[in-house]
Amino acid sequence: MALAGLEQGRALYAYDCARQGQELPAGKEYKSYVKKIPALIKMNGLGATVAFIAAKKKDDRNKKEYAYEVIYTQLQRWLVQKGLVERQQDLAAALVALDSLSYRMVTGEVLALFKWVSRFAEGLIEGEADA
């Protein structure tokens, strides 16, 4: 039963994330980016993927890279909420500081979260990002 509760909580948070992405001017980019994140993690690792997101994010809501800002914030908020990283730490720095077992555990959690986020984004956000 606890596993079902964990998965349900993840799904609820992911739905809220996808709804937030849907409301962005760059909603199509948000959808595209969240769909690519699991593959990026599997190919490059969580730390490298988070570093990539951090490098790409822009805080100007009118730029398409603002979607990376939203994704970064959503991911950090989820990991803080779950007690996996400290609130005051930069997400990339927090991940680098994890021991090997914790890093693998956080990677699994992030993959599980983005599985849900990408499903909801696919259903909520119409169209595809421009290539």
Mean pLDDT of 49-77: 95
Return d(Cα 82, Cα 76) in angstroms, integer: 10
Assess whether pLDDT exceeds 90 at residue 74: yes
Residue in 106, 109, 105, 65 with CA at minimum distance from that of residue 89: 106
Radius of gyration of the chain (CA): 14
- Decide if 38 contacts 47 (C-beta within 8 A): no
Q: How far is CA 115 from CA 15, 108, 118, in A?
A: 11, 11, 6
Give per-residue pLDDT as tens, 80-116.
Answer: 999 998 877 789 889 989 999 999 999 999 999 999 9
- DSSP designation for 45: -
1.10.520.30, 1.10.10.10, 3.40.50.300, 3.30.56.10: CATH of 2-124? 1.10.520.30
pTM of the predicted protein model: 0.91
Q: Tens of pLDDT along 27-42?
A: 999 999 999 999 999 9
Task: For residue 3, name the pLDDT band (cuts at 50, 70, 90).
Answer: low
Q: Which residues contact 7 (CB under 8 A, 6 or more apart)?
A: 112
Instruction: Identify whether the C-beta of residue 14 lies closer than 8 Å to the C-beta of residue 112.
Output: no
pLDDT, position 1: 46
Mean pLDDT of all residues in the chain?
92
pLDDT at 130: 62
**Contact (Cβ atoms closer than 8 angstroms) between residue 15 and residue 120:** yes
Q: What is the pLDDT of residue 29?
A: 94
Query: What pLDDT sits at residue 86?
Result: 82
